[in-house]
Amino acid sequence: MKLSVVIPTLNEEECIGQVMDELSAALEGKVEYEVVVVDGMSRDRTREIARSKGAVVVEEARRGYGRAYKTGFAQARGEVIATMDGDCTYPAESIIPLMEMLYEENLEFITTDRFGHMEEGAMSTMHKIGNLALSFTTRLLFGRIIRDSQSGMWVFRREALSKIRVEADGMPFSEEIKIEAFRKLRSKEVMIRYRRRVGEVKLSSWQDGWKNFRFLWRKRFRGPRDKSLRS
């Protein structure tokens, strides 16, 4: 298996079908791939729709965006893993170009930057400010230049996962995987197109923003094995 696309979902029935269709259009006949949908026990038709369109659906009753990814990565069989949300925001057509870049430039991890080509209304002003503040804090604490520390689309070699240690089970998983990748792997950040979300936002700007912010300071000053990093 060449590629696994891993998608965490929580009540995304409005869009998971379209995400699956866009993936088929972008990947079918071009690469051998699987789609692993890690569903947090959605109360709508997310699992049913994903399954009907060919996804491997894994049920993960434990809450958390990071938790879902850990389960999905353990299940993924692809040489390369690509991630995205189940809300129609990330561009399926970028996966193959990013995979090619991974090989051509001998990289291990690519993360994406949504700020360059963002559709109007794709991110609220509050969200944008929070995002920039978190990216700035990441830069300050870890010295890494990551423009978009919260982007949820990454394309990386599955074997690279054994070289990094990502502890967060919640939303901070996104910034932590980038910090780890830029510390320990050959990594790069690449601009992508980012669209407006379909369906209800799962993230709470203030609560998750604050959690992410606290997480960065804890990770920086308390060492990598701290249990409190798991929240």
Q: Under the rule (CB under 6 A), what is the footprint of ligand GTP? A: 8-10, 12, 38-40, 60, 63-65, 68, 85-87, 89, 152, 197, 201-203
Query: Which of ligand GTP, Mg ion, none does 15 bind, CB closer than 5 to 8 A by kind?
Result: none
Among residues 81 and 88, whose Cβ is nearest to Mg ion? 88
Among residues 87 and 208, whose Cβ is nearest to Mg ion? 87
Q: Which residues bind Mg ion (CB under 5 A)?
A: 85, 87, 89
Block residue for tokens 């299940």? 75
Four-point Cα dihedral 152, 153, 158, 162, nearest 10: -30
Residues 206 and 171: their CA atoms lie apart, in Å, by 12
Q: Is residue 168 within 8 Å of residue 89, measured between CB atoms?
A: no
Residues 38 and 55: their CA atoms lie apart, in Å, by 10
Query: Which of ligand GTP, Mg ion, none does 64 bind, CB closer than 5 to 8 A by kind?
Result: ligand GTP
CB of 104 to ligand GTP, least distance (A): 29
CB of 78 to ligand GTP, least distance (A): 19
CB of 103 to ligand GTP, least distance (A): 27
Query: Which of Mg ion, ligand GTP, none does 70 bind, CB closer than 5 to 8 A by kind?
Result: none
Q: Which residues of 148-159 are buried (b: 16+ CB within 10 A; e: fewer)?
A: bbbbbbbbbbbe
Residues 168 and 172: their CA atoms lie apart, in Å, by 6
Query: Which of Mg ion, ligand GTP, none does 9 bind, CB closer than 5 to 8 A by kind?
Result: ligand GTP
Count how many residues are written for the chain: 231
Radius of gyration of the chain (CA): 16
Query: Which of Mg ion, ligand GTP, none does 135 bind, CB closer than 5 to 8 A by kind?
Result: none
Q: Pick from 144, 210, 212, 220: which is nearest to 183 by CA?
A: 144
Among residues 57 and 161, whose Cβ is nearest to ligand GTP? 57
CB of 212 to ligand GTP, least distance (A): 10
Among residues 175 and 189, whose Cβ is nearest to ligand GTP? 175
Chain-centre distance for alpha carbon 109: 12
Q: Pick from 67, 159, 176, 28: which is nearest to 111 by CA?
A: 176
CB of 100 to ligand GTP, least distance (A): 25
Output the CA angle 85-89-90, nearest 5 degrees.
75
Query: Which of ligand GTP, Mg ion, none does 201 bind, CB closer than 5 to 8 A by kind?
Result: ligand GTP
